Amino acid sequence: MANLTIKDIAKLCGVGTSTVSRAMNDDPGINSETKERILKVVKEFHYVPNNSARNLKVSETNTVGVLVKGRNNSFFQGMYTFIEQELQKIGYDFILKEISYDDNNTMQAVEMVKEQRLKGMIFLGGMIEDLDKIRQHIDIPYVFCTVAVDYNATDCNLVAIDDEKESYRIVDYLIKNGHRKIAIIAGQKGDFAVGRLRLKGYKLALEANGIEYNPGLVAYQRDDLPDYSSANGYAVMKDLLASGEEFTAVFAVSDLTAFGAYKAIYDAGKKIPDDYSVVGFDGIEMTKYMYPALTSVRQPVEEMIMCAVELLAKAINGEDTGRQIFFAGELLEQDSVKDITH
């Protein structure tokens, strides 16, 4: 089973390599009988062209790279197929790369581009650490989607929600429901991505409603547990409950964190939302199956991805560039908040 090359196939068929190449690549200028004959042999011998050689030769691909920060980033669960479809609609293949939270996405992106001759890139999640480097070294169009970037980076394509505003929205919703002692499960202490922004929105909502900010109600996620995980939500919620601080509601900066927090509350023998109201962030599908269903801010992921793809297509065609599009979140009112106004 030695690796067959295009030459072998050509020899087997008694044709030239370019004819085989044409047959494989649906080139119009080829006799359909020849083509069939070749494809039959290809199939029979299960020949698969060496993609490295192809990439090396081909001057430009129709491939878009998608770089996701955070393997298993639950927020993107199930979105890959959707991205694939959206890109396919406009004639692009896609190649996915998930990197861990620790990896430097700039370098990874550069490597992806060089390796694959990509047509464009979509960055998903996480935050952009050194935009300058990206600007300097990536010379194909790219768009950031649900990524925390410096907001004054107005020269690059960005599709996101306004984390600050949306956090404000949901905390304000708690307040409108009569809650005044509101705890927050924030990001890790050093978080400069969405965690920071969501905490800020929380503070602003309190301030706007004349509620004094109480640092004792801010539970930062532990940095020895995965960021935004249930395990982290569970752990810090337990501490919060044990701290003796009084509160009637909790804002967890992600749904998964809220899921962990639920459990801590139940462990303490308390009820949701009777004893504690809980809200999350992201509005992922799982919230629907939580008990009670979690009230959250839904990010319109599909729309955002469609928008990102569209933006990228425009950039590739040289039409438009440097647009920052913010989507509004949607208050996903479910069953985890109790109205305690009188």
Partner DNA sequence: GTGAAAGCGCTAACAT
Partner DNA sequence: ATGTTAGCGCTTTCAC
**Footprint on this chain of DNA (rule: CB under 7 A):** 3, 5-7, 14-19, 21-22, 24-25, 29-31, 33-35, 49-50, 53-54, 56-59
Shortest approach of DNA to residue 5 CB, angstroms? 3
Residue 24 contact, options its own copies, DNA, none, Cβ 5-8 Å cut-off depending on partner type: DNA
| Residue closer to DNA, measured from CB, 27 or 155 | 27
Burial class (CB in 10 A: 0-12, 13-18, 19+), 52: exposed
Shortest approach of its own copies to residue 318 CB, angstroms? 17
Residue 139 contact, options its own copies, DNA, none, Cβ 5-8 Å cut-off depending on partner type: its own copies
| Residue closer to DNA, measured from CB, 1 or 56 | 56
CA distances from 108 to 30, 293, 333 (A): 40, 38, 39
| Residue closer to its own copies, measured from CB, 109 or 206 | 109
Shortest approach of its own copies to residue 127 CB, angstroms? 20
Residue 98 contact, options DNA, its own copies, none, Cβ 5-8 Å cut-off depending on partner type: its own copies
Residue 78 contact, options its own copies, DNA, none, Cβ 5-8 Å cut-off depending on partner type: its own copies
Residue 17 contact, options its own copies, DNA, none, Cβ 5-8 Å cut-off depending on partner type: DNA
Residue 266 contact, options its own copies, DNA, none, Cβ 5-8 Å cut-off depending on partner type: its own copies
Q: What is the spatial distance between Cα 317 and Cα 104, in angstroms, rounded to a whole number?
A: 29
Q: Which residues contact 316 (CB under 8 A, 6 or more apart)?
A: 119, 120, 141
- Structure-derived torsion over alpha carbons of residues 158, 106, 230, 284, reported in degrees to the nearest 10: 30
Shortest approach of its own copies to residue 204 CB, angstroms? 30
Residue 61 contact, options its own copies, DNA, none, Cβ 5-8 Å cut-off depending on partner type: none
CA distances from 103 to 70, 126, 175, 195 (A): 9, 11, 39, 19
Q: What is the spatial distance between Cα 120 and Cα 140, in angstroms, rounded to a whole number?
A: 6
Residues that bind its own copies (CB under 8 A): 1-3, 46, 48-53, 55-56, 71-72, 77-78, 80-81, 96, 98, 100, 110-111, 114-116, 133, 136-137, 139, 226, 230-231, 234, 259-260, 262-263, 266, 285-286, 288-291, 293
Shortest approach of DNA to residue 39 CB, angstroms? 12
- End-to-end Cα, the chain, rounded Å: 78
| Residue closer to its own copies, measured from CB, 32 or 100 | 100
| Residue closer to DNA, measured from CB, 5 or 73 | 5
Shortest approach of DNA to residue 107 CB, angstroms? 15
Q: What is the spatial distance between Cα 45 and Cα 89, in angstroms, rounded to a whole number?
A: 32
| Residue closer to DNA, measured from CB, 14 or 190 | 14
Residue 80 contact, options DNA, its own copies, none, Cβ 5-8 Å cut-off depending on partner type: its own copies
DSSP string, 48-91: ---HHHHHHH-S---EEEEEEESTT-GGGTTHHHHHHHHHHHTT
**Which is it for the CA torsion 142, 146, 150, 153, positive or negative?**
positive
Q: What is the spatial distance between Cα 153 and Cα 292, in angstroms, rounded to a whole number?
A: 40
Q: Which residues contact 187 (CB under 8 A, 6 or more apart)?
A: 193, 194, 195, 196, 198, 199, 220, 221, 227, 228, 253
Q: What is the CA radius of gyration of the chain?
A: 25
